[in-house]
Amino acid sequence: DIQMTQSPSSLSASVGDRVTITCRASQDIRDDLGWYQQKPGKAPKRLIYAASSLESGVPSRFSGSGSGTEFTLTISSLQPEDFATYYCLQHNSFPPTFGQGTRLEIK
Amino acid sequence: EVQLVESGGGLVQPGGSLRLSCAASGFIFSTFGMNWVRQAPGKGLEWVSYISSGSSTIYYADSVKGRFTISRDNAKNSLNLQMNSLRDEDTAVYYCARDRVVVTATPFDYWGQGTLVTVSS
């Protein structure tokens, strides 16, 4: 199975901050990666697909980059509604595997 | 509008069984693969099972292999998960999530709202 190592596991930041979350894959997954936002009691919502493509309707302050084994999700200027948990997901090969999650909290 | 609505969750004793369903609408269900993903309370996301559009290809996570059975009814736009021999560690919110229609597309784009399964005596 492909292991996805996500960091940090938690992050405290302020409104307006720029934050970056990283996922590392245990082997080459090309760009077969998505980023998801999850709020308490809600289903995950996809923000980024194919590593760097922004989902329709998602604010442009979210961006993704990377390919192969190293990927990043960047939020350029945090807004109050962005405080949530974020996950990466690789779908290059079965089983699909998630990162452990990053809990983004208000400082 | 794509909609996925899970049902069937509830409280069950260890060793018991439960059948989850996911009703799909707003897309041509019979052309998409489908997945089940679960999330234990306070924990991360775990993929559980996949079924191809025509049911010819099925995969399971090792943690549920031999106990869970995924199936679909394309005539009824319905995805199912039969869960037998349930264990405490199967307690989770179970989500259905759409896969892809062609290899070049990307899976896990739409998710249902989830249904809670609690395994406890």
pLDDT tens for chain A, 107 residues long, are 999 999 999 999 999 999 999 999 999 999 999 999 999 999 999 999 999 999 999 999 999 999 999 999 999 999 999 999 999 999 999 999 999 999 999 88
Is A15's Cβ below 8 Å from some Cβ in B? Answer: no
Residue to substitute from A2, A5, A38, A98, interface B, most B β-carbons within 10 A? A98
User: In the prediction, which pLDDT does B101 show?
Assistant: 78
Q: pLDDT tens-digit profile of B37-91?
A: 999 999 999 999 999 999 999 999 999 999 999 999 999 999 999 999 999 999 9
Is A100's Cβ below 8 Å from some Cβ in B? Answer: yes
Q: pLDDT tens-digit profile of B4-16?
A: 999 999 999 999 9
pLDDT reading at B33 higher than 80: yes
Structure tokens at B42: 């306070």
CA distance B113 to chain A (A): 5
CA distance A33 to chain B (A): 9
User: In the prediction, which pLDDT does A61 show?
Assistant: 98
CA distance A36 to chain B (A): 10
> If you measure CA to CA, which chain B residue comes closest to A56?
B109
Name residues whose C-beta falls within 8 Å of residue B98's C-beta, 6 or more positions apart in sequence. B2, B4, B24, B27, B32, B33, B34, B35, B107, B108, B109, B110, B111
Q: Using the beta-carbon criterion (under 8 Å), do A98 and B45 form an inter-chain contact?
A: yes
User: In the prediction, which pLDDT does B100 show?
Assistant: 86
pLDDT reading at B105 higher than 90: no
Residues of B within 8 A of A92 (CB-CB) are: none
Q: Using the beta-carbon criterion (under 8 Å), do A98 and B44 form an inter-chain contact?
A: yes
Helix (H) or strand (E) holding A89: strand A85-90
User: In the prediction, which pLDDT does B102 show?
Assistant: 76
Residues of B within 8 A of A9 (CB-CB) are: none
Which of B56-64's residues contact partners 24+ apart within 8 Å by CB, and which partners? B57/B33, B59/A94, B59/A95, B61/A95, B63/B89, B64/B90
Distance separating alpha carbons of residues B98 and B47, to the nearest angstrom? 12
CA distance A17 to chain B (A): 25
- For A49-67, the three-class secondary structure string (H helix, E strand, C coil) is ECCCEECCCCCCCEEEEEE
SS3 breakdown of chain B: % helix, strand, coil, rounded to 5? 5, 45, 50
